[in-house]
């Protein structure tokens, strides 16, 4: 064999060796693949909270005014939005004590009893509705009697279920796209990839979320003249949208 052929064979062997070192075997490789999915949709349901609070030296008088205003407010909401779901919650009664003056305080007498100078009574009304177009008008009418305490826009259960199906499909589709990209990067055929495990939790946390603690009723100060207002401008509401996200982790093995 000539020297020229020996040189060519030697160079070819070096090239093949370098190629083998740069592309290690991937048969049987287990790949962990994270994937993400997201869907967005306009909110179609709202929960609006109204409240009434009264303060008086006579607890019975304060309670009577609260009961009367809550009854009137409930009737207004039912008249403006007959399909709404109403629920009264958070009835509370608190004693009001005199303020303690600043400066040095005398030693407390264990036998002494603090005497309240008044009472603060209040109640909340939760209204759940899908009539978002009429909600500003409903809120304005109710505000002539009760106070607007808060509003939460969200997805209805039916829409949430449909969007959850779409979110799962989008996340699984992203998993397949990533597997294809990884296969190309490894120089493998995507058909050689076999999905071994799909973890839709995506975080390793399989424990259910703890229920949120019920919030304590908040005391509010409201104008006593609110019920006497003849006209109430409609508030401006924007339902916005909700974004649902999902993360999954897939285990893929290459044959």
Return the domain boundaries, the chain.
26-44+155-203+241-255, 47-96+116-154
**Residues 53, 167 contacting (CB under 8 angstroms):** no
pLDDT band at 115 (very low <50, low <70, confident <90, very high): confident
Say whether pLDDT at 55 is over 60. Answer: yes
Overall fold of domain 47-96+116-154: Alpha-Beta Plaits (3.30.70)
> In percent, how much of the chain has pLDDT > 70?
74
Q: What is the mean pLDDT of residues 225-252?
A: 79
Say whether pLDDT at 1 is over 70. Answer: no
Residue 136 C-alpha from the chain's centroid: 23
Query: In the chain, what's the furthest Cα-to-Cα distance?
Result: 118
pLDDT band at 155 (very low <50, low <70, confident <90, very high): very high
pLDDT in tens, 128-149: 999 999 999 999 999 999 999 9
pLDDT band at 108 (very low <50, low <70, confident <90, very high): low
Average pLDDT, the chain: 81
Q: What is the mean pLDDT of residues 178-205?
A: 84
Overall fold of domain 26-44+155-203+241-255: Translation Initiation Factor IF3 (3.30.110)
Interior CA angle at 157 toward 143 and 209, to 5°? 100
Say whether pLDDT at 5 is over 70. Answer: no
Say whether pLDDT at 56 is over 90. Answer: yes
Say whether pLDDT at 226 is over 50. Answer: no
What local confidence, expressed as pLDDT, does residue 132 receive? 95
The string over 71-90, giving b where at least 16 C-beta atoms fall within 10 Å of a residue's C-beta and e elsewhere, is ebbbebbeebbeebeeeeeb
Query: Who wins on pLDDT, 255 or 70?
Result: 70
Say whether pLDDT at 174 is over 90. Answer: yes
pLDDT band at 220 (very low <50, low <70, confident <90, very high): very low
pLDDT band at 236 (very low <50, low <70, confident <90, very high): confident
Q: What is the mean pLDDT of residues 199-218?
A: 47
pLDDT band at 106 (very low <50, low <70, confident <90, very high): low
pLDDT in tens, 82-91: 999 999 999 9
3-state secondary structure the chain: CCHHHHHHHHHHHHHHHHHHHHCCCCCCCEEEEEEEEEEEEECCEEEEEEEEEEEECCHHHHHHHHHHHHHHHHHHHHHHCCCCEEEEEEEEEEEECCCCCCCCCCCCCCCCCCCCCEEEEEEEEEEEECCCCCHHHHHHHHCCCCEEEEEEEECCHHHHHHHHHHHHHHHHHHHHHHHHHHHHHCCCCHHHEEEEEEECCCCCCCCCCCCCCCCCCCCCCCCCCHHHCCCCCCCCCCCCEEEEEEEEEEEEEEC
pLDDT band at 109 (very low <50, low <70, confident <90, very high): low
What local confidence, expressed as pLDDT, does residue 29 receive? 86
């Amino acid at each position: 064999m000539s020297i020229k052929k020996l040189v060519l064979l030697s160079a070819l062997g070096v090239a093949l060796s370098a190629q083998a070192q740069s592309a290690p075997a991937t048969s049987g490789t287990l790949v962990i693949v994270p994937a993400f999915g997201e869907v967005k949709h306009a909110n179609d349901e709202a929960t609006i909270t109204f409240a009434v609070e009264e303060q008086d030296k006579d607890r019975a008088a304060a309670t009577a005014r609260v009961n009367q205003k809550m009854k009137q407010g409930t009737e207004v909401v039912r008249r403006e939005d007959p399909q709404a779901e109403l629920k009264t919650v958070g009835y509370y009664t608190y004693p009001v004590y005199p303020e303690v003056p600043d400066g040095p305080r005398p030693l407390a007498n264990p036998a002494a009893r603090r005497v309240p100078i008044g009472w603060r009574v209040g109640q909340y009304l939760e209204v759940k509705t899908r009539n978002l177009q009429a909600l500003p008008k409903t809120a304005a009418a109710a505000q002539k009697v009760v106070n607007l305490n808060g509003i939460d826009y969200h997805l209805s259960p039916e829409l949430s279920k449909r969007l959850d199906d779409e979110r799962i499909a989008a996340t699984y589709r992203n998993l397949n796209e990533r597997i294809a990209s990884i296969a190309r990067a490894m120089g493998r055929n995507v058909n050689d990839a076999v999905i071994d495990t799909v973890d839709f939790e995506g975080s390793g946390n399989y424990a259910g979320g703890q229920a949120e603690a019920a919030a304590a009723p908040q005391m509010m100060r409201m104008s006593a003249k609110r019920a006497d207002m003849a006209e109430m401008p409609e508030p401006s509401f924007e339902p916005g949208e909700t974004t649902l996200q999902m993360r999954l982790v897939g285990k893929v093995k290459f044959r």
